[in-house]
Structure formats: structure tokens, C-alpha cells
Chains A and B, each alone.
Chain A
Amino acid sequence: EAGVAQSPRYKIIEKRQSVAFWCNPISGHATLYWYQQILGQGPKLLIQFQNNGVVDDSQLPKDRFSAERLKGVDSTLKIQPAKLEDSAVYLCASSRTGGNEQFFGPGTRLTVL
């Protein structure tokens, strides 16, 4: 089966600019996750969707980050405005409903200058 797709793979922006990332989960996976992975650290959950509803966004910096999954399939994560400390890899993952195994995409490496 095809894996989790993400785009773009790399993005370089100036601070205070906006950026958006796109994720297409594995077909049939109802649960979708966005993680932030800072260099040298493990991924940290930002938001979890079940179909098109938000299950957990407690660690999402809502003053600048937003995410949506309008039709319960693809998802976008947006940062507006970006800060230097947002430089990280943004990973998307998906899983079957109730499944413990999450399948990760290749990530988008964001550099904020």
C-alpha cells in the first residue's frame, strides 16, 4: 500500500512569513496526526484528527498554528506568522481507528531565517 505522502519536502522562509504543509494519509486510515520534530529530539504531537474532527490539539500553539482536515482525508498544517523557533521537521502520520501503530510520512523540513 502507498505510504503517507507529504509536501513540500523542504521549505525556507523568512520569519513572520506564512507557510503551509500538506499531508495525504494512507487510504482508509481515519486517524491523522501532525508532529513537530526539532533537531536532535523525538517528534512531539501537535494535533490529532479522527476523520474530520479534532481529537487533541492541546499542544498546538493556536496563536500561530492551524490545521484542518475538511473532508476527512487530506490535511494541511499552517503557520502564520512563523518564528525562528519553528524551524523543525513537520511529520504527518496516520493510523487505523483504535490502532496503536502509526505510519509516518517523510516529513517537511522547515527553516525559518
Chain B
Amino acid sequence: GESVGLHLPTLSVQEGDNSIINCAYSNSASDYFIWYKQESGKGPQFIIDIRSNMDKRQGQRVTVLLNKTVKHLSLQIAATQPGDSAVYFCAEIWGGKLIFGQGTELSVKP
């Protein structure tokens, strides 16, 4: 049988440039948000999280921004590397469940 799925948004960046991946979430009552990275043939891997009482959190080369007014998350990756090529998902914890948003496929050009 043929699988039918959604066409993922894509982002193509040059190696060394900064990447910004955006996500709209669904539930204004969500209190915790996570960004996951999923490489081909692998499960999602935790990158960074943020609680709803924060608007910014920084990790190693990554920054997450949260705008609760418009229910928007973004992931910024500094100095993007070829190893960053993957599909990135935002997810929210709502009602005790982890709910994934639509992914974005990041492609890094050498």
C-alpha cells in the first residue's frame, strides 16, 4: 500500500549560517514545550525544552523562544552544521500528553 502523508515544510541553509525554525502550537493552557530532532531512520531526540513561565532559553548552539500571546515557538540554531540536517518537531505537554506539531525539514548545504 502507498503511504500518504503531509508535505513537510523545508528550510535550506548554508553551513555556518544561523537557522530559525518556527512552530505554532495549539493549546494556550500548555505549560511545557520541547523541541525534538529526528534523523532519518531514528526516533525523535530531545534538543531543548522551555516552560510557559519563560520566554527564552538557551542551550549549546540552540535557543528556544516562546511567544504565548500568539502561541508561537521558535528554535534558533547557531552556526548550522551538516549534522544538524534532520526533521525538527515542536511538541507541547497538554493534559499530561506530549503532542507533536508539524515538523520542518532542515537541509544544510556544505
Residues of A within 8 A of B (CB): 4, 15, 33, 38-45, 48, 56, 84-85, 87-88, 91, 93, 100-107, 111-113
Interface size class of B (residues with CB under 8 A): 20 to 34
Residues of B within 8 A of A91 (CB): 43-44
CA of A41 to CA of B5, assembled, Å? 7
B46 A107 Cβ-Cβ under 8 A? no
Please tell me which one of the listed residues B1, B7, B42 contacts residue A87 in the complex, with CB atoms under 8 A apart.
Answer: B1
Consensus secondary structure, chain B interface: loop
Q: Is B34 part of the binding interface, using a Cβ–Cβ cutoff of 8 Å?
A: yes
Residues of B within 8 A of A (CB): 1, 3-8, 32, 34, 41-46, 49, 89, 91, 93, 96-103
Residues of B within 8 A of A105 (CB): 43
CA of A39 to CA of B7, assembled, Å? 9
**Distance in Å from the Cβ of A22 to the closest Cβ of chain B?**
15
Residues of B within 8 A of A87 (CB): 1, 3
Smallest Cβ-Cβ distance to A33: which chain B residue: B98
Residues of A within 8 A of B100 (CB): 41-44
CA of A107 to CA of B38, assembled, Å? 11
CA of A77 to CA of B52, assembled, Å? 34
CA of A104 to CA of B41, assembled, Å? 12
**Distance in Å from the Cβ of B44 to the closest Cβ of chain A?**
5
Can you list 20 A-B contacts with CB-CB less than 8 angstroms, sorted by A residue number? A15-B1, A33-B98, A38-B5, A39-B5, A41-B100, A42-B89, A42-B91, A42-B101, A44-B100, A45-B97, A85-B1, A100-B32, A100-B34, A100-B93, A101-B34, A104-B43, A106-B43, A107-B42, A112-B1, A113-B1
Residues of A within 8 A of B6 (CB): 40-41
Please tell me which one of the listed residues A39, A41, A84, A102 contacts residue B98 in the complex, with CB atoms under 8 A apart.
Answer: A102
Smallest Cβ-Cβ distance to A103: which chain B residue: B46
Please tell me which one of the listed residues B3, B44, B93 contacts residue A88 in the complex, with CB atoms under 8 A apart.
Answer: B3
Smallest Cβ-Cβ distance to A88: which chain B residue: B3
CA of A102 to CA of B49, assembled, Å? 12
